[in-house]
Amino acid sequence: MASHRRLKKPSKARIGVVTAAAATAVALSSGVSHADPAPSKDQVKAQINDLQHEAEIATEELNGFQEKAEQLQSQVGEIQDRIAQEQSDLIALQDGMGALVSAQYKNAGIDPTLALLLSENPDDYLRKASQLDQITAHQADVIRQIQAKKRSLDQERGEASRKLGRLEDTRKNLESKKTEVDAKLQKAQQLLNTLSAAERAALLAQEGHGEDARASRDDTRTPNTPGSTAGDKTNKTDKTDKGEKEAPPANVPASGRAAAAIAAAKAKLGKPYVRGATGPDSFDCSGLTGFVWRQAGVSLPRTSQAQAGIGPNIPKSQVQPGDLIIYYEGYSHVAIYIGDGQIIHAPKPGTNVRTAPWDSMPITKIVRPS
């Protein structure tokens, strides 16, 4: 007769291990099934365009901080020179005053009336007394000069201290903005590296930063230009409508300084875009326009926003070679118009200075350097 073994009940510990393993498997399976899909090529390209556009905006702000830092440094240097000169003048005045006091001390102690009676030559004594009165008046004048110099020195030192404080704040902003730009450009480059060589070349060949509707999102901030206010559209041209290309006006031959600026721009075709560069071998957008007009004898502000504020708005129908065309709502890009519906500009990282259609990006303002 066959024997029957009694089956053992599984232990509680074993049941717990099996249950935990099953739960882990379910969790992992759930996580895999709900993982975000990889972005499409178009989404990657859109991210790159947005990052490069944001980096361009930040670059122009960076240029503004750099310009401000240089101006403050120059002002502090001038103040320190004035302080050194006034300190030298003060020391000279104090030395002269000390010599007068010493001379008076040596001759002091005799009553002036007695000195006159005892003098062998009263006329000579009276002449010297008159000179002493003049010296006393001179002393009073010197004292006033010393007091004025001390007040001036205190004011100059106070101004220098305030300027140095502003300079330090500007340098901190400068470093912060550099970090922001570098991070955006690094992220854009990482995304670019996921594309094929042909896709990268096609993306960099685009003017601007993708579709106008997306690219003009800069651009929630108020342009930092003289006289501009939030929501003020009176000093802007109408934006180029998405997909609509506008015929350029009849060409006016460039002459004088405009011709010189255009010639300088053409000579820089092919030079690389480099953030913050102002030439002569690399440029960012405002660095290029500032450089070419400087060759024509005209000094422009450093940033695209400041360049947008150099003069009144020129209607599109009156654009002439040499004019600056400002793009995007935040005035974050600038180019020089060379005629025949063409511009020369420094587009973005990874590209070189090149020509492009004048309405290949959303135009917000046109100004004429003079």
Catalogue the active-site residues: 285, 333, 345
DSSP string, 115-175: HHHH-S-HHHHHHHHHHHHHHHHHHHHHHHHHHHHHHHHHHHHHHHHHHHHHHHHHHHHHH
Q: Cβ(248)–Cβ(329) under 8 Å? A: no
Which strand (E) or helix (H) includes residue 265? helix 256-267
Nearest by Cα to 66 from 185, 170, 156, 199: 170
Q: Cβ(248)–Cβ(258) under 8 Å? A: no
- In angstroms, rounded to a whole number, what is the distance separating the alpha carbons of residues 17 and 147? 91
The tokens describing 187, both together, are 């992220």
Q: Cβ(315)–Cβ(341) under 8 Å? A: no
Strands (E), the chain: 324-327, 333-339, 342-345, 354-357, 363-367
Q: Write the single-letter amino acid at 289.
A: T
